[in-house]
Every structure is written in structure tokens, then in C-alpha cells.
Structure 1
Amino acid sequence: MSTPTATRLQAADADVTVLSNTAFVTDWSRRYFGPWWNAFEVPTSSVCAGPLVTADVDEKAYADLAALLASVPHSEATYAKARLLLARDSTGTITAVSPDEQLAYRSEQLGGHVTISGHAPQPVALAASRIAREMIRAALLRDGWTLLHASAVVRDGRALLAFGDKGAGKTTTALLVASRCAQLLANDRVFIKRIGADLRVLPWPSAAAIGLGLLDALGLYDVVRDRLQAGEHLHPTQHQDVTDALLAGRREPLWEPGGKRERKVQVFPDQFASWFGMELATGGRAAALLFPRIDPAAVPALVDGERTLGEDDFMSGATEDRYPDHFGLAHGIDGGGSDLARATVAEHLAALPHHQVVLGHDVGANADFLAKLSDSP
């Protein structure tokens, strides 16, 4: 029998422990959340009270829960792009099964303890990380944090937040500055809360999606391809077509059928450091807002514009279509935080410097310009 292992995650005043009979599962959580959230191994004897995810590779436990669910009335939903069968009993316990992923969930104690069982280590590890992250998020939101749809870098404790719709240049901005003079805090979203006189920011750990064209423009394409050819791996949520394109040396953007959504490289958080030489930030204080746009022929510069923070720049339950709160973790709080938290953050962000910028296709010029801009008080 395998010896259980445990990993604890901490972000601000929130914490959760992942306990498993398979070391791969807890090792995965330490790798995935690592420096962004304080993730460390703990003795299993210290695991008692507090938010807990128990995630075991256990085919019998999966089969028992699947049989239980089949015997009671249940509904059907989608979670992490997979079909999910759900039932809630009179005590509030939620049982769910994802037949395609061969995963079973049981959420008890009002979402304070979630048990996951499945057939194979990797799906169980992925599921445990998702649930642990959602438990941390729920705790932070209950504590007054909210979520911005922004990329972020930190320099000398000061966080520069970049906003914009898809294709505006949020990721480009963050990676260019992180490659020159700052630490990467977030690729797509960031926690934020008014604490004292500051707006404090925390990272949202996730795999970062980077298009093949952008990867090439940033000079990182060959680094990724060489690593893959040497037998290393990107995040398993990456589509196989992207891996095939990288190994074949194709650099043009890769689109899903219909051409509406680009298939992108999915980078583990720790690969920013180990592959790209970028440091990761664990927090900071918001210092300025950046609203980039891309114009291929432009010289990078500050430009006039009316863009300011809007409702769409905050995450909400409506934007969380991949991970809706089927397991009762949020206790009724919206997926982006309370209205009061959003209003408080919006008011104080409005008082910070706002920079409207245009970036061209000269990566070096863009990086020099953004590095200088991030240097300003």
C-alpha cells in the first residue's frame, strides 16, 4: 500500500491541504502552485481541521460512487469541458461523476472537504489542483478579495496591470516586461484587495496560453521546441495539434475548426523560470494601469485614448464557464467577488496612473519601451 503524502497551499489568509495515496498527485500540486502560492509538503499527521482535498487513485472508490450516483436522481452539467453527473442529498453532500475522465467527486462539510477518486494519477492530479485552487479562490473572495481580468508584472514591489480584450496585448506586455526587468505575477487574471493604503495583488496560478506566433515573436519558440524534442512536456491540457506543430517547426497561428479560437501552447507556471528565465512574483501593490493595443506598423508609444477600467475588466461568475461552482465551494459568493469588493477596488484603481499604449511588431523596441515605462513612478 502506498504511503499517503500531503501538500499545503497558502495564499494570503487562505489555505488548503491536498492529501493523496499517490505522491504524483501531491507533487503535482507543489509544482503547479509552487512559488506563486506557498506550496509545501507537510506531514500527514498534521492534516486535521481546515479545507481538505483527498485525491486518491482508487478504481473501486470511483466505481462505488458511480454506482451510487446511477441509483439516485441526478442532473447533468459541464465542468472543465467534460460531462458531469451530479446529485445532492438531504445533508447537502454533493456527489458527482465525470464518466469521460473516470473521476468521481464527493463534496462534504459545505465544501470544506472534497474527495476525488479516479483510475489514473494524472487525471486525479489535475482534478485535485483544480478543486484546491477553487477552494483557495472561494476563501479569498469571502475575505474581500476580487478578481481582475488582467496580466501583471511586479518590479520593486510595484505591480503594473495590463487590461484589454483578447488580442489587445495583455500577454505580450507581461512577457516582454518580465523578460527584461520584472517578475511575472499573472498571465490573465489577478486577485486584488484594498489593504490599508495599498491595493494588494496576488497571482492566480494557471497554465499560460501563448499562441505559436507570439511565442516565435518573443524569441521563445526554439526554446520550447528544443525542450520538447529532448523529451520534456508542456501542460497536458495542450491540444495534440499544438505539440505536433511545434515538433514539426510550424510557427504560424493554429486555429480550431471554424477559425474562431486559436489553439495555443500551454505553459506550466514553473516553466517560465526553468525554460524562459523569468522570475515569478508572489504579490505586490498595484501602481499603474496599462491599456495596450497592437498595430503592426506602429512605433511603441503612449497614445491618447479614453479607455479606463470597466465592468468587463473584473472576473465574475458569468465568466467562469469552465469551472462553475458545482461543488458548493463559494457559499453563494459570485465567482469574481462581492459587489462591494469590486466597487472599492475600482474606486482606488481609478486614482492610479492610466497609460494607453500602442505596440508594434518590433519586439525589441516594444520591450525597451515597456521597460522604461515600468521604471516610471
Structure 2
Amino acid sequence: MTLYATRIHADTATLTVVSHDQGVASWAARYFGPWWYASGVEALGPDDSADGDAVVFADVNPRLAGSIAALVAEDVHDETEYAGTRTLVARRGSITYAVQPDEELAYQVDSRRLVVAGHQAEPVAVAAARLVRESVRGRLARAGWTVLHASAATRDGKAVIALGGRGTGKTTTAVLLARSGWGLLANDRVFARLEEDGGVAILPWPSAAAVGIGLLDAIGRYDSVRARLAEGERLHPTQHPAVTRALVDGRREPLRRQDERELKAQFFPDQLADWLGLGLSAEARVAGLLLPRISPMATAALAEDDHEPSEADVFPTGKEDRYPDVFGLLPATGAPGVAALAEHLAGLPRRSVVLGHDAEASGALLAKVADELTAAP
């Protein structure tokens, strides 16, 4: 029986997704795409081996899923939440077994062989992508890479990164720069590492890209996205149904959860190019920092307020908000050199900017400032 494979490569980390379902393997290629140099291998035979230092086996296999679920139920297990879903976890030696009953998904994971089985192809494909990302993240962390809460846009190998908390405008900054001809490397998180030559290298954190309804409207893409959805095309399945309904119904006001966080449209990486006309970028060196703040009634302008980079801008490996390390794929101590990285970023040129709802004016200001930050040799 034919096996299909997608190979993913990020810096020194290589991993292969293998499945009997071509759609699962294709999903991985689409999800990681040019950000992590994903490439498909269409006809991997049963006697062939997948190159790379780890393999994710992902299949629609209810029998295997049931066997793992029974093992977890019979064994001593913990209950936690992973990817927003109740997850039961048991460990035997170096192997972690887990089951997500509501998603009908089961996992069997060690450092090199990661298995996910389920009842339907799409949940299996989504779960496999998460395992790939967490496995690669662990390997990058061991190689000195740290995850920053930042967006990034690049040009000619140089990057500006936008720092700040939720709602400050990191995604808006990256999207507006990408509309001005820059490459979009990250819209919320980015891998960063202080190199021996004193520069800071960055890599993408592949994920569904969250873009607010207001931003879609401001950049003139709301109507085209709505038309695609009305014709039956789909955005990423993690998108909240309320967002889909609002877009199809033609409602343009931002949607918010009970905790006031905005519900946003969730785009596959390839849809950033196909649907929004944005170019993507896979790697760069940081030349400067942008510190945005959105003020709807304001005119786009430079600002006086400042934010000095610190370890607070880092996602600690042991304190993940949505994807805790239930499978033991991350190093216990985190990536080394976080303090040195933060100190170096604090020494780079930076500019604070206020962004209004005039996307053209805000984009022009960001492009001008980004040009200045990357002008130095």
C-alpha cells in the first residue's frame, strides 16, 4: 500500500510526515510550505525509509486510536488541556501516550517516532502539523533558538520585528509591510537566535495566520475573502464559526470573545499569498525593531513611548499558553542565552509608531521607518 510523505526542514531540524492518506501529507506541505521548506514525496514505498531525524506517522486508523485510548484509560494518567482540547496523558518509559476523546485522536510519541491516529482525515492532519511544529521547536531550542512574541517582515535578507503584547498591532504591522513589498516572515511568533558574529537570525513559526475582520476591511480584502467563502472555499479549520458566519453575512465589525480577545479569520500560509496577495519569507537577520500601538482615531505617526526588549518578550518553553509540552519534546531548561538575546535586541535601533485605521497612511509610515531601520550596512 502506497505511503505518501512530506519532508520539512528548518535550520538543522529535519522531519518527515508519512501517511497512507495523500491528503494528510499534502496538508503538511501546505501548512509549512515555503516557511519551513516543505516538499512532498509522492510515492514512498513500504520498503523505503524517510530521511531525517524524526518521523510523524499520521493516519485515519480507528482501531489504533482505540487501542491507544484503552491503554491510557487502563494506566495511570493525567488530564490537561492541549490545543484547547481535553487531553488524557499516560507515560511508559520514554513513550508518551495521549488521547483527546472529543476529537477522537490518539498519540504515541517518543523523540524520533511520533504517531497520531484518528477517525477522520482533517483532525489527523491538524494534529500531525502540531506534532511536527513541537518536534521541530524542540530541536531548534536545543540549537539555541528562542520563540519571541513578535511579528517580522523582511527585505533583502534584513528584517524588522514588531514587539508588544496582544492587541498592540504586531500582525497589522507585518501585513501592512507585506503589502508594501516586504516579505511576511511571522505575524505573532518568531524563532530568534543570537549568532556568533553578533547578529540575530530569525526563522518563521508556521501557524494559521490570524487576521482581524477590521484589518481585512482596511486593506481592501474583505469583499474578496467573503466571495471565496460564499463560493464554498474554506479558511483554516481552527477558525471560530462565528467569524465564518460574520464574513458570509457581510458583517464588518470586529468580533470578541468573553475575555475581550478578538476572534480573527485564520488563513493557511498559502492563502496569505493567494487570497491576500502577500509574499512570504523564510529567514533573515534582524536590523531593527518596531514598537506599534493601534489607536483607531489617531493619525499614523511616530510616538514617544518606548518598550525595551526583555525576557518578557520570550515564550518560555515550560510555560506555553496553548500548547504545553505534554509529549516531552522540548528541553526542560529552555534555550540558552535568552538574557543575552534580549540584551542584544535592546541595543538595536527601534522606533515607536502609532497606527490608525487609515491603512494607506499607516502602511506608508511603516515602510518609511522600516527602510530607515534597515538602511545601515
Cα shift at 1:371: 1.2
For 1:239 and 1:217, how far apart are their aligned partners in 2?
21
Corresponding position: 1:161 with 2:158: no
Cα shift at 1:202: 0.4
Cα shift at 1:154: 0.1
- Cα-to-partner distance string for 1:19-50 (whole Å, 9 max, x where unaligned): 11111111000000011001012345241662
For 1:259 and 1:76, how far apart are their aligned partners in 2?
24
For 1:106 and 1:157, how far apart are their aligned partners in 2?
39
Cα shift at 1:318: 5.5
Paired residues for 1:220-369 under 5 Å: 220-256=221-257, 258=258, 260-317=260-317, 319-334=319-334, 337-338=335-336, 340=337, 342-369=338-365
Which 5+ residue runs of structure 1 have no aligned equivalent? none
For 2:97 and 2:368, how far apart are their aligned partners in 1?
53
Q: Which residue of 2 aligns with 1:53?
A: 56
Q: Which residue of 2 aligns with 1:102?
A: 104
Q: Which residue of 1 aligns with 2:31?
A: 32
For 1:347 and 1:309, how far apart are their aligned partners in 2?
7
For 2:301 and 2:77, how far apart are their aligned partners in 1?
56
Corresponding position: 1:138 with 2:138: yes
Corresponding position: 1:207 with 2:208: yes
Is the 2:61–2:117 contact (alpha carbons within 8 Å) kept by the matching residues of 1?
yes
For 2:363 and 2:100, how far apart are their aligned partners in 1?
44
Corresponding position: 1:83 with 2:79: no
Cα shift at 1:143: 0.3
Cα shift at 1:225: 0.5
- Cα-to-partner distance string for 1:326-350 (whole Å, 9 max, x where unaligned): 111114243xx33x2x122112212
**CA RMSD in angstroms, aligned pairs only:** 1.5
- Cα-to-partner distance string for 1:303-328 (whole Å, 9 max, x where unaligned): 22232112321111365121111111
For 1:73 and 1:348, how far apart are their aligned partners in 2?
45
Q: Structure 2 length as normaliser, TM-score?
A: 0.94
Question: What SS class does the counterpart of residue 361 from structure 2 fall into?
Answer: helix
Q: Which residue of 1 aligns with 2:95?
A: 93
| Structure 1 consecutive aligned stretches of length 4 or more whose deviation exceeds 4 Å | none
- Cα-to-partner distance string for 1:48-70 (whole Å, 9 max, x where unaligned): 66211111111111111112222
Q: Against the structure 1 CA distance between its residues 361 and 320, is the aligned structure 2 distance closer, same or farther, given a 3 Å change threshold?
A: same
Question: What SS class does the counterpart of residue 104 from structure 1 fall into?
Answer: strand
- Of stretches 306-315 and 13-22 in structure 1, the one that deviates more from structure 2 is 306-315
Q: Structure 1 length as normaliser, TM-score?
A: 0.94
Q: Which residue of 2 aligns with 1:174?
A: 174
For 1:6 and 1:333, how far apart are their aligned partners in 2?
32
For 2:249 and 2:308, how far apart are their aligned partners in 1?
42
The residue type equivalent to 2:201 in the other structure is: R
Is the 2:318–2:325 contact (alpha carbons within 8 Å) kept by the matching residues of 1?
no
